[in-house]
Structure formats: structure tokens, C-alpha cells
Structure 1
Amino acid sequence: MKWKWAMVIFTGIFLVTGTLLAFNEHVRGAAKLAISTSPIVTLSSEHDTRTVMAKMDDGAGFQDVLSHVEADGWEFEEQVGSMFLYSRGEESLVIMLKMWTNQYIVAEMTKG
């Protein structure tokens, strides 16, 4: 009888975890960061907008995201709160940073 309850609990946990991974891009990103050696993972990419996630690690996540952008040739212009403005030639890039839990940072980068 105990093994039946164990199977029911295991199946429930498996279904909840599978549902979260299937429908929540932030949970998928956190799982990718846990498995990957990369400090940044891409959550989504549409037209001119790209969303990435990094592990916070006492502020290192902010620096990982901003260093990744600067490595692509973008130059810092201005910071307004949690929004960072970058430029490269005639192009501009707006980065909106927000926390997802207290362990991860999500950056939405929009070219303009």
C-alpha cells in the first residue's frame, strides 16, 4: 500500500514539473542555467526583441548580461532606473532588467 502512495506522489510531482517546464519560460531558463555552464541563456527571441536570463550570484548576473551586450559591440549610453540604453552606429538597444525570484535576473533587449 505504501508503494502505491509513493507512486501517486511521484507521478504528481512529475506532472507538476512537466507542466511548469512546458508552459513557463522562466522555469525552463532556470533549468537551462542549472544544467549549462554558460552564465546566460536565451528564453525567447522574436523579431527585434530577445529575452535572456542569468543567475544573480550577488550581482554578477547584472554584469554578465551587460558584458555580453558590450562584447557584441554595443556601447553604453545611459541608465534610467533598471533600463539601460546602448548604441552601435545608427542602431540603439534598450535593455530592461528585472528580477525573477531573488536568484535570477531577466533582461529583455529590444533593438530600435
Structure 2
Amino acid sequence: MKTIHNINKWSLIITLLLYLTIYLGLLAQIPLGFIQFVLALSILGHWKQLNSLSKKLILTYWSLFISYWLAFAIMGNSLNDLWFIFYSIIPMSIASYFVYITYQIKKSTHEFKLDYI
């Protein structure tokens, strides 16, 4: 799990650094989102090894992820004044939350010596 957390953490840090030039930060969110989606799927593959807190955190993440994409599909181009919040703030908040989740899972798996996750 340490590897998953490190990949996730550094992907977020790189994206945040690229936000120094807003355009590159927005573009960097695309690979960050793909990386986090793949990592979240890989965590689901280890569902039985997760403790109850980790399961709740992952379910919350998937709820946020799916809600965001449904809102994105429904609202589409009608965001006008809220585009920066919808394209930047919300996705980066969800991404930051996922880093927190991977940290919590790493911490709990380390306590129980489940480092193979």
C-alpha cells in the first residue's frame, strides 16, 4: 500500500506545482484523475483486507467521484461563472481526499503488516 500512496501523493504534488501556471495545472488533472481512478480500482481489488474505516472512506470517495461525473454530464457547458470551481477546485478536493484515503489505508495496513497491498 505504501507504493499506491506514494504514487498518489506525488501525482497530486506534481499537479499542484503545475498549477503555478493555471493552464498546465488544469491539463495535469487529466492524468491525475486517470491515475487515481486506476489506483481506486486496485484498492477495490483488496476490499476484504481493508478495515471498516478504510471501506467507509473508499465508499465516500466513489460516491463523490460518481456524483461529480454525473453533475459534469448533466450541467455540461452551462457552468459559465462557476467553471473554475467545477473544473479545478472540486476535482482537486476529491483528489486530495483520495490522498488522505491512501494514507489512512497505508497506516492501517502497516499496523497489521499487510504491506503486500
Q: Is the structural similarity TM-score above 0.5?
A: no
Which structure would you say has the larger RCO, counting Cα contacts within 8 Å and 6 or more residues apart? 2
Higher helix proportion, which one?
2
| TM-score, length-scaled by structure 2 | 0.24
Higher strand proportion, which one?
1
Flag the structure with larger Rg: 1
